[in-house]
Amino acid sequence: MKNLSIWMKGILISLCFTISHSKAQVGINTSNPQTTFHVDGAKDNSSSGVPSAAQTANDVVITTTGEIGIGTLSPAVKIDTRSAANTDNSIGIGETSQAAPSAGGGAVRYNPLNGGKMQYSDGVVWQDLISSPTKAVVVANLQAANFAVKIPYQVSTGIAGWTEISDPTANFTPGTGVFTAPRTGVYLVSFTYDFVRIPIVSGYFSEARYVVNGNNTVKKCVKSFSNISKQAQVAGSCVAGVQLNKGDTLQPYIYQSVYNGNLSLRTDLTSASNDYGFVNLSILEQ
């Protein structure tokens, strides 16, 4: 009878869990464990091969180095919840009345006072957890030979070939003139330009344009001209706050209806020249 009871317990356990021992790997709800210890929460993994991102999203693993992955099979830190499915990667951290010295340096808690905030223990007191990421600050100008950069008549043209002066977050590609937003937020963009001297005719205008994601013009700054006809240099500028989502691209464009042909921007290669420094771009993350 005793042996029968032991046998029945073994049957019950096997019904509750599918456990695989292969190369010192243990799987619960899976016969195909991918790490030292692998729990398939939804029991939806295939019996062979690597589980898909959707299948992995409900899994928990422990690696040979003691790292825990929740929703990922390859944790990069001691506890990694960065699932590729990206639907539930947040971590819930609760309140505690424990003193900071008791919690120890490096402990984290949620403090509901004054609207709520995250805090960490430095081993002495609870400190407010403040995020201060490096903001995007792009400064660039167009350094090119005289008459080298031309804007066609009545064609919206992206400005490329910039010389980068500042870009600490590496989000600007000077060769293409494309900026990629590192975070969702407002970006203050300033763009100035100047054309070579031409005769101005009544009713003509030029525009600085900010184009997002290659096809969406979100801002236009128009420079129009009165009823006169004389030699002048057409110049303009545009300062605007632009709302961008993380990963959105932005590029300055120029549209000119001033000269029926290719109109050159006023540029040069040396700072001593009178034509140097008229085409500039800055992008400041707010």
Q: Can you give the pLDDT at residue 10?
A: 55
List the helix and strand counts (H, then E) for the chain: 3, 22
Residue 187, judged by CB atoms within 10 A of its CB (0-12, 13-18, 19+), counts as buried
Q: Can you give the pLDDT at residue 131?
A: 81
d(CA 256, CA 174): 22
pLDDT digits (tens, 9 = 90+) for 153-191: 999 999 999 999 999 999 999 999 999 999 999 999 999
Compute how many other C-beta atoms are within 10 angstroms of the C-beta atom of residue 145.
10
Looking only at the bridges linking them, the beta strands covering 280-285 and 185-200 are: antiparallel
Instruction: Flag whether pLDDT at 118 surpasses 60.
Output: yes
**φ, ψ of residue 152 in degrees (nearest 5):** -65, 160
Beta bridge pairs of residue 256: 153, 206
| C-alpha closest to that of 275 among 154, 146, 98 | 146
Across the range 48-72, mean pLDDT stands at 95
pLDDT digits (tens, 9 = 90+) for 199-217: 776 668 899 999 999 999 9
Whether 98 and 119 have beta carbons less than 8 Å apart is answered as no
What is the model's pTM?
Answer: 0.66
Q: Which helix (H) or strand (E) holds 5?
A: helix 2-16
Instruction: Flag whether pLDDT at 138 surpasses 80.
Output: yes
CATH 2.60.120.40 in the chain, residue ranges: 137-285
pLDDT digits (tens, 9 = 90+) for 22-43: 457 999 999 999 999 999 999 9
Token output for 174: 């000077």
Q: Can you give the pLDDT at residue 227?
A: 58
Q: Can you give the pLDDT at residue 241?
A: 97
The yes or no reply on domain 137-285 and CATH 3.40.50.2300 is no
| C-alpha closest to that of 162 among 205, 197, 192, 185 | 192
Q: Can you give the pLDDT at residue 9?
A: 53
Structural Rg of the chain based on CA atoms:
31
**φ, ψ of residue 6 in degrees (nearest 5):** -65, -40
pLDDT above 70 as % of the chain:
89
Looking only at the bridges linking them, the beta strands covering 68-70 and 79-80 are: parallel
Average per-residue pLDDT for the chain: 90
Coil, helix or strand at residue 55: helix
